[in-house]
Chain A
Amino acid sequence: MTEKELIQACKKNKRKAQQRLFDTYSPKMNGVLRRYLRSNEDREDVLVEAFYKVFENLERFRGEGSFEGWIRRIVVNEALMFLRKQHNFNMTVEITDFDEPVRMTVMDDLAVKDIMKMLNELPTGYRTVFNLYVVEGYKHREIADLLGISINTSKSQLILAKKRMRTLIEKTQLINQQSG
């Protein structure tokens, strides 16, 4: 069954097709959510809500872009809505010096589980802006709209998140070198 056929079957509320769509995309979307939400229970709730919206809005998908990208946007949006209910993204220290670019490099052999551990150590605001900017590729203006914050707050959160991540990466790589 092609992706187009699967979508058509899901539009007709064919339960087997809906389950197949969920089985195909949910591991990847759960992986996206792992970077935003720490708790397993929260992740499961958001994942269910996001896929419910995927099925509810399937008629709106015109098939012009990537289907996976469309689902991913719904999932990220749902995670942000969940986080906005629980966290005030405006409660942060704003910095004014944006001149120093924080370039982040990471050794290719650094394990994903180590990166996940570091992301989980970041405060919610830092982690969310970091994910949106570095991983999803949003611009600061878009992040400001999505989180209901100013562009300066978004920039501040990113710089602070990158600095914290850099320290954590250096620490982890040092431990890995010593033990390896």
Chain B
Amino acid sequence: MTKPKDMEDYFKSRQDEFNEMPSRAAWKKLERRLDKRQKRSRLSYSRSFAMAAAVLILVVFAFLFSMVDLEGDPQIGTASIQIEPISTQDMDPEAYKVVEYTLKYRDRMSNIIEEGPENGKLQVRNN
């Protein structure tokens, strides 16, 4: 004679009896989705590779271009900046003062501070 069982135990002891093979179509559907995913990941891999290559080419070109430019114009990349003489007409007087100050002290603009003796303070170089 069979005994009554708690519902929880009934499901635990007989869970394999609930098993049921899915239809063959289920695997086919899943396989199609996996194929798509694989194609997508291959595509995104080649896309990222192409993007990285494009960035690298750009960097190389930019570097080469800057080298050519430096050779053509020796002033670029050096500290000597030529300040054009300007006309005081049509000019804001405040702006003119700034330009005048810059012209006057431009020699002091480079290497304004140089290293002093050991344990000493930094000091302004007198030109």
**Chain A residues proximal to chain B, CB less than 8 Å:** 13, 15, 18-19, 22-23, 26-28, 30-32, 34-35, 40, 43-44, 47-48, 51-52, 55-56, 103-110, 112, 115-116, 134-135, 137, 162, 165
Contacts and interface: CB of A to CB of B under 8 A. Distances in A.
B8 A134 contact: yes
Contacts of B15: 28, 31, 135
Interface residues of B, number: 29
Chain A CB within 10 Å — which of B5, B10, B14, B38 has the most? B10
A44 B34 contact: no
B16 A108 contact: no
A126 B6 CA distance: 18
Contacts, number: 91
B11 A44 contact: no
Interface of B: 2-8, 10-11, 14-23, 25-27, 29-31, 33-34, 37-38
B22 A27 contact: yes
B76 to A, nearest CB: 51
A56 B40 CA distance: 13
Given A44-B22, A44-B23, A47-B22, A112 B14 contact: yes
Would you call the interface of chain B mostly helix, strand, loop, or mixed? helix
Nearest to A102: B7
Contacts of A22: 27, 30
B20 A30 contact: yes
A48 B6 contact: no
